[in-house]
Amino acid sequence: MEHILIYINGGSRGNPGPSAIGVQMVDTSGKVLEEVSEKIGNATNSFAEYQAVLRGLEVASQHFGNMTKDINFEIKLDSEAVKKQLNNEAQIMEPGLVPFFIAIHNLRVSTFSNLTFTHISRELNSEADRLVNEALDA
């Protein structure tokens, strides 16, 4: 089964403040399949992280279409709190994030049968971080 890595990052300058998301989707050989660098307005870091996850799933769905159920997707993010929330290991304390959690859960059930979330260090998420900063600096 094919394995696709989706590196995501969301960040804000000010928390809350001007925010952006970065998504880089790669195959196991390291070939970049898609990149996204977008401003999302004013938000908290957690809100931006959730937005990045949703955008990453949207990009994967557009890229792979109906094949998503036959591919292992691994979302790699440097927010341990968001990773734990998405894996049902921690409670969501910010009520505004619940609709995003539900949207991600619904996509997981309907479209991404083989989806995992993995916490990585910031150093290993440098490309998604670069995409966030490019959007914020634009």
pLDDT score at 1? 87
Closest among 40, 5, 41 to 22, alpha carbons compared: 40
State the DSSP code for 27. E
pLDDT of residue 99: 97
Dist CA 106 CA 58 (whole Å) = 12
* Assigned superfamily of 2-137: Ribonuclease H-like superfamily/Ribonuclease H (3.30.420.10)
Nearest to 117 by CA among 90, 77, 81: 77
pLDDT, position 48: 98
Which residue positions in the chain have pLDDT lower than 70?
none
Regarding pTM above 0.85, the answer is yes
